[in-house]
Structure 1
Amino acid sequence: MSARRELRLNAFEMGAPGHTWAGLWRHPRDAAARYNTLEYWVSLARTAERGLFDGIFLADVVGVYDVYGASPATAVARAAQAPNLDPFLLVPAMAHATTHLGFGVTANLTYEHPYTFTRRLSTLDHLTNGRIGWNVVTGYLESGARGMGLPQAREHDARYDAGEDFLEAAYKLWEGSWEDGAALRDRAGGLFTQPGRVHRVTHDGPSYRVDGQHLSEPSPQRTPVLYQAGASSRGRLFAARHAESIFLNGQTKAVAGKAVRATRQAAKEAGRDPYDIRMFLGATVIVAPTRAEAFDLRDEYARYLDVEGQLALVSGWTGIDLSGLDAHEGLAYVKTNAMQSLLENLTLPGERPFTRADFAEFGPRGARAPFIVGSPSDVADALLSWADEADLDGFNLTRAVAPETIEAFVDLVVPALQDRGAFKTRYREGTLREKLFPEGGAHLKATHPGARFRRGGSEARASAA
């Protein structure tokens, strides 16, 4: 990384009482048990905007973690991402309470159809004035597949093949159906839309078929900002082709940097500028006015970590039942249909594989990503070091105790980053895409594969009638 870029920050959240650190909802100052109230989400959004965050990244999962002990009981009892809310319904309230904050919403395309799904994203993009992103996921939980009436989840690589098909259909609807200016709103002439400027699109793919017009007029961004978290070999190719922002994890700078370099190289090979993708690394930050206070806070939080809940999460993510693993027995790599990249990170790199005891640690190994504790200066220096060495654009900040950890970050770390010239002091105007890519516009860049389906492009003409 030749020159320091302005850091980007998202609050990494989920509509659930427990997210990536099981059990912390029990902390007496934690408010996550009120996750099912509007007040909780509106307060979070206002805090994130006060801190000039780029967005709130809303995770989601369809299904329940039932790999640990071959039962969902632990996940349900310990609130390991269960119960959880539909993230789409959280956005309008938060958007109404803010002006600039973006929203990255996770949605599993396996259980959606492009025709209606594109309207849902367009609706949110309209209502937020262009502040919506979609975290494209393909689903990996067998429990989710069963819940949706399927015999099993799609095989890992086949999920991404279906994802390619889904996105092509979505691009046709978002980019190729409505011409700019088709919606006239002509009161005197009684004409709201010119029918000749709204076009039927067809898509006949291996997984999805569409024959119709996009149900929504073009939103400010047309296609929402596209997030992705694929880091396996197949997932990386998918992300390099489609993603504008990528969320990754890595327990060391070397591991994170390797993933970033591989993805940027894949993007280049796909004909894109490698830096047309913003790279966000997950991170847990515990900050206090002094280093000693921060470590005391870390120790206090650690007392509330729910080990069984944590093991239920990791078992679900990896597809390996950790209930029978001895405390210090290394996790061995086996190919599963779950998160292959995570399992590779936990077993292949580093001096030793991860153990059951590691997953129960409220610290760097338990986090599987940066776990930073210290004063505001300590934290700012650490974040910048990770960004410089791993070629990162920013961080998805994991919830620990809500809202305490994000409020402390906003009040203490943001000013320290601003003092170093590494973080903005005000928002830029424009859509989420224009904020993330100031050199571009509100719509997909011309080098993005989705732009080929814009009205006038060869693919758009071929699929329109």
Structure 2
Amino acid sequence: MPTPLRFSAFVMNTTSHILHGAWRIPDARQTDFNSLQHWIDLVKTLEAAKFDFVFFADVVGLYDDYQGDWKKFVDSGLQIPSNDPLVLASALASHTENLGLAITSSILQEHPFDFARKISTLDHASGGRIAWNIVTSLSKNAWRNFGYDDITRHDDRYEWAQEYADVVYKLWEGSWDEGALLQDKESGLHADFDRIHKINHHGERYRVEGPHLVAPSPQRTPVLFQAGSSPAGRRFAARNAEAQFIVSPTPAAAQTLIDDTRRLVVESGRDARDLKFFQGLSFVIGSTEEEAQRKSVELDEFIDPSTIIAHAAGGLGFDLGHHDLDTPIGDIDTQGTQSTLLWLREAVPDREPTVRDLALLRSRHGRVVGTPEQIADRLTEWRAAGVDGINVINATIPGSYVEFAEYVLPVLRERGLAQEDYVDGTVRGKLTGRDRLPDSHPAARYRGAFADVPA
């Protein structure tokens, strides 16, 4: 029997996230994103279907201009307005018992001391179900929003991310020893001073004295996600991440990426299986293949190609609105997301991809069309390529997830490709079989590291 795939619902606290224009479908409720009840209803649906995570993407700035300004983003609702997903997490935790809550937060937007405190608080409140998607922010507007003149160069952002991660690791793993919180009513001793430590971090970008103000949560460190596919991003993931989101165009391309990244994981001193891979896919489901294809054509009628291009170009760091469709992507220098360039070259391996390729591929990339049985066949291929989980992209909320739960998951369970029920424990325990990070993870070296360090 194969190992079951893991399933994550890929959402964003906004109207138009990935499949731009789909919010106009009559039964789509993405426009309800301001409503807390909207998200409560969704996580209840996901938990009933035994999804592993609801994963919230996030941005802290506009994408780069399209045709000279940012009007296109406002006109189409392209991730503006968008709300802070971290604010939702405790409410969603109170309406679920097993579903993991994965939150994107950039190294840019919050000081690591305050971020570590919030995450530990949420991990306590949820009973150990918080995950953090580590991002470095690819938007120039985001960097200007936080007082910088321009975006930091791509590889330098990952050096920054490593220091940020080290600070929060020190707080989560090293500031409090096990058993430090006593709460002894008889003696009146609340905590053991000798087992709580200041971290006294002095780095290139941060100085943090500590101690961590929150006692160890069920996981201490949240489950760590990352999405970079550039060489620097994969090295960072190999050293730090427990799960990586990928957008490979084919199972074969995914296998190549996964095998090479697992090599980097081993080189970093970790076990190759310490990093799990979630492939992003969307699904159009029909009772027959003909019905599924018809529904896919109907979906295309709502998709807005120009907004797709504006989003993709914003991530790449240049304005494609001023480029001819046949312009080779390689002719345009960018400090934006390198994973998109890698994905394009994997999808068009025999020549240099163009702007036209980007528009066509992004509008239908990762879309699996067919009957539940045909979809199960495709997911079997992804599983055989080394993919551990699927990041399910929606066309509509809640419809995409209701249909997937009702029609596809039963077939996957028959084939042993989806879990029948949750196991007890934290979300890391459900994902990896252990509640805490393994000793091979770089965060583990901070355990007990500050016991004899003078202030």
Cα deviation for residue 369 of structure 1 reads 4.4
Q: Which residue of 2 aligns with 1:351?
A: 350
For residue 246 of structure 1, what is the aligned residue in structure 2? 244
1:446 to 433, 439, 452: 439
Which residue identity is paired with 1:122?
A: S
CA distance in 2, matches of 1:81, 1:88: 16
CA distance in 2, matches of 1:367, 1:119: 39
1:435 is matched with 430
Tell me how far 1:110 sits from its aligned partner: 2.2
Q: Matches of 2:294 and 2:190 in 1, distance apart?
A: 62
Contact persistence 1:202–1:464 (CA under 8 A): no
Distance 1:112 1:41 in 2: 24
Residue of structure 2 aligned with 1:366, choices 348, 362, 367: 362
RMSD over aligned Cα atoms: 1.7
1:403 corresponds to which residue? 398
What SS class does the counterpart of residue 124 from structure 1 fall into? helix
CA distance in 1, matches of 2:133, 2:11: 13
| AA of the residue aligned to 1:444 | L
Q: Within 5 Å, which residues of 2 pair with 1:38-437?
A: 38-332=36-330, 334-347=332-345, 349-361=348-360, 365-366=361-362, 369-389=365-385, 391-437=386-432
Share of identical aligned residues, percent? 38
Q: Partner amino acid for 2:126?
A: T
Matches of 1:387 and 1:399, distance apart in 2: 20
Normalised by the size of structure 1, how large is the TM-score?
0.94
1:187–1:383 CA distance, 2 compared to 1 (3 A): same
Structure 1 stretch 81-90 or stretch 109-118: which is displaced more? 109-118
Deviation at 1:443, TM superposition (A): 0.7
Deviation of residue 190 (structure 1)? 2.9
Unaligned runs of 5+ residues in structure 1 are none
Contact 1:282 1:397 in 2 (8 A): yes
State how far apart, in whole Å, the 2-side matches of 1:324 and 1:254 are.
34
> Is 1:250–1:368's contact at 8 Å kept on the other side of the alignment?
no
Give me the whole-angstrom Cα distance separating, in 1, the residues matched to 2:416 and 2:235.
34
Structure 1 residue aligned with 2:4: 6
Gaps of 5+ in 2: none
Contact between 1:55 and 1:101, CA under 8 Å: does it hold in 2?
yes
How far did residue 366 of structure 1 move? 2.2
Q: Give the C-alpha shift of residue 212 in structure 1.
A: 1.6
Distance 1:67 1:186 in 2: 59
Task: Find the aligned partners of 1:169 and 1:288 in 2 and give their Cα distance.
Answer: 49
Secondary structure of 1:74's counterpart equals: helix
- Cα-to-partner distance string for 1:123-159 (whole Å, 9 max, x where unaligned): 1101110000100011111000111111111111111
- Residue 251 of structure 1 contacts residue 367 of structure 1 at CA under 8 Å; is this kept in 2? no
Alpha-carbon separation, structure 2, partners of 1:311 and 1:134: 28
Q: 1:51 to 1:208 in 2, by over 3 A?
A: same
CA-CA distance at 1:464 after TM superposition: 6.4
SS at match of 1:289: coil
Bigger shift: 163-172 or 339-348? 339-348
Q: Which amino acid aligns with 2:339?
A: S
TM-fit CA distance, 1:437: 0.6
SS in 2 for 1:396: strand
Alpha-carbon spacing, 1:463–1:326, altered in 2? closer, same or farther (3 Å) = farther
**TM-score when normalising by structure 2:** 0.96
Counterpart code for 1:452: R
- What amino acid is aligned across from residue 447 of structure 2 in structure 1? R
Describe the shift of the 1:308–1:368 C-alpha distance in structure 2 as closer, same or farther (beyond 3 A).
closer
Residue 20 of structure 2, aligned match among 19, 22, 25: 22
Instruction: Count how many residue pairs are aligned between Structure 1 and Structure 2.
Output: 454
Deviation, 1:201, is 1.0
Aligned 8 A contact 2:11 2:57 in 1 = yes
User: 13-22 or 311-320, which moves further after superposition?
Assistant: 311-320
Q: Is the 8 A contact 1:247 1:396 kept in 2?
A: yes
Amino acid at match of 1:431: T
Say if 1:333 and 1:343, in contact at 8 Å, map to a contact too. no
Give the partner amino acid of 1:419: E
- CA separation in 1, counterparts of 2:121 and 2:106? 18
Quote the offset at 1:422 in angstroms: 1.4
Q: Is the contact made by 1:333 and 1:344 (CA closer than 8 Å) also made in structure 2?
A: no
Task: Describe the superposition over 1:285-311 as per-residue Cα deviations: whole angstroms up to 9, x where unpaired.
Answer: 111222222222211111111122111
Paired with 2:437 and 2:233, the residues of 1 have a C-alpha distance of 21
Question: Aligned AA for 1:446?
Answer: D
Label 1:237 to 1:460 Cα distance change in 2 as closer, same or farther (>3 A): farther
3-state SS of 1:429 partner: coil
